[in-house]
Structure 1
Amino acid sequence: MIRLFITRHGQTEWNLEKRFQGSKDSLLTELGEKQAGMLRDRLASQNFDLIYSSHLQRAYRTAEIIKDNREIKIIKDKALSEMKLGDWEGLKYDDVIEKYSKEYDLFWNKPHLFETTSGEGYSELKKRVIGSLKRIIRENDEKNILIVTHTIVIKQIMAYFEKRPLEKLWDLPYIHPTSLSLIEIDDEKTNVKLHGDISHLENNVKEIC
């Protein structure tokens, strides 16, 4: 059996400023580092064979904090990076709503109808993310794997395991910073044990971002 522990990076400066990040990057805030530390403490007794992380710094730094001083290899995987958002990257949410109101609505409420000319579509995202996921599963039978990545990537992975269509991609739960999902795969049988769990976070660090 392979066990996949999947988490999102901690809060970033651009999360706090309500900016779209996508393939661009911003540093973890003090709160983001604290969130990662809480997940580290939760997983301290869990043995991991490997950690796979998005190459973006916000995810890799989160992986480093969770790893702590343990001898676990962190593998950077560009296929686990966040959805490329093109012209939206770096813009505040309000600015995107003003300039791209129709696309913004489709992005969140009707993802199966969303199209972009400057970024990455949901179908492109699914192809690279699920391709990477299948490779990780294929290469790591009987191992415990931690994956540190991003909101839309996690939404796509969980939709894949739960067999949800694209139009339901944004169904709850919300993927909070350092929320934890756990999937156990035994041959062809898949069991979703956790999905977006934040029981390790104190009340004052559960801000949505």
Structure 2
Amino acid sequence: MRTYVAKPYIASSPQAELMGITGQALFKNLHAEDMIELKETYGFEEFIGDQWYSQQMALDFLKDLTIPDKFSTTQNLVALGMSAAALSSQLFSAALMNSIETFLEVLPSLYSLLQRNVPDEEGYWPKKISEGHWIVTNNTPYPGELVFGLHWAWMNSLRKPHDIFAVRPISPDEDGLYQLEIKWGDTPEAVR
């Protein structure tokens, strides 16, 4: 049983921080123009890659991005996740980025490269079900759509040229945490 369960859009403490390279996704994503007004409201001009920023400030921004009828929430959050994956991958060694399985095995430690002053249990927790089939549990305060975009982009960049892959949201775990099923292989049957 977990001792810490993340609450959506609420940092674990005021000291929780994220690395600036992930914040750069606000300026470098497929829907960045949709977020201009909100970025101005928050005073976001730029994020410096190796600097640290308030996780709660970023979460407040993401929560405001979910205002109904104002933003294309799902598209924007997925785009942010995809961009954050591409940007953060620059920090990971080539050895970690050589296969999906290797990457998933070390995924919990990678979260701590990008976030600090958070509980040890905060992060992405992968579990191998079988060859080419994993479940990743999101014990972070970040929204599921962003987490989906993040993992989809990572898997897309890690797959072998002939591989087919799927990243799907599945039922929450026993603590109500968002989960993703990740499958890959060289046939359509492998991802069903």
What TM-score, normalized to structure 2?
0.27
Structure with higher RCO (Cα < 8 A, 6+ apart):
1
What TM-score, normalized to structure 1?
0.26
